[in-house]
Amino acid sequence: MAAEPASLVDVVLLPMQRRHLRAALRIENQVYPRPWTTGLFQSELALGDRRTYLVAKASSKLVGYGGALYVLPDAHITTIAVEPSFQRQGIGVLLLHALCRAAVDKGATALTLEVRTSNEPALRLYRRFGFAPAGVREGYYTDPVEDAVIMWAHDVDGAAFAARLDELAPRQEAS
């Protein structure tokens, strides 16, 4: 059952810190068949400004997170996950939006990621941001073995992508 919709106005994004890892791992273990370990998250966080990791909090509960790494001029979305009972409420868009903005601010001109061929929710999310399939990496995933779709969004430093991000920007109701 979906959790009481957290109004997106109440969802805040913060830089991921080590103290967030216990809650992030709880989500990680629910949503990925091959979850990242605490050590992997820690080594990513240790890379400072070569990475961006964000958490989404709703009423101080950690409900999602996402990350990007930079090999400029490319940025790679490494992970994005939302706690199952908070999915389909716009939090994935919020996180990906912030990661795209962070990548453009870092100087990225292209964004890439891999996704399981069967992961329709994620594929649809990425398509909304202008990611297009560019190839398949056969047998990339295990448990179960599955191909990865490699997706790219190009010219993310241009006006068309900026307009797309503006269009996708979560609407905050004026009170």
Instruction: Tell me: does residue 54 bind ligand COA (CB under 6 A).
Output: no
Q: Determine which residue in the list 38, 112, 117, 119 makes contact with ligand COA, applying CB under 6 A.
A: 119
Please confirm, yes or no, whether 114 is among the known catalytic residues.
yes
Instruction: Tell me: does residue 130 bind ligand COA (CB under 6 A).
Output: no
Distances (CA, A) of 164 to 49, 55, 126, 130: 25, 23, 12, 8
What is the strand order of the sheet 51-58 is part of? 11-15, 51-58, 61-71, 74-82, 110-116, 146-154, 132-141
Instruction: Tell me: does residue 117 bind ligand COA (CB under 6 A).
Output: no
Distance, in Å, from the CA atom of 26 to the CA atom of 7, rounded to the nearest integer, reads 22
- The single residue of 53, 65, 70, 126 carrying the catalytic annotation is 126
Distance, in Å, from the CA atom of 62 to the CA atom of 95, rounded to the nearest integer, reads 13
Q: To the nearest whole angstrom, how small is the minimum distance from the Cβ of residue 108 to ligand COA?
A: 18
Minimum CB distance to ligand COA smaller for 104 or for 148:
148
Give the interface with ligand COA as residue ranges (CB under 6 A).
31, 80-82, 87-93, 115, 119-122, 124-125, 128
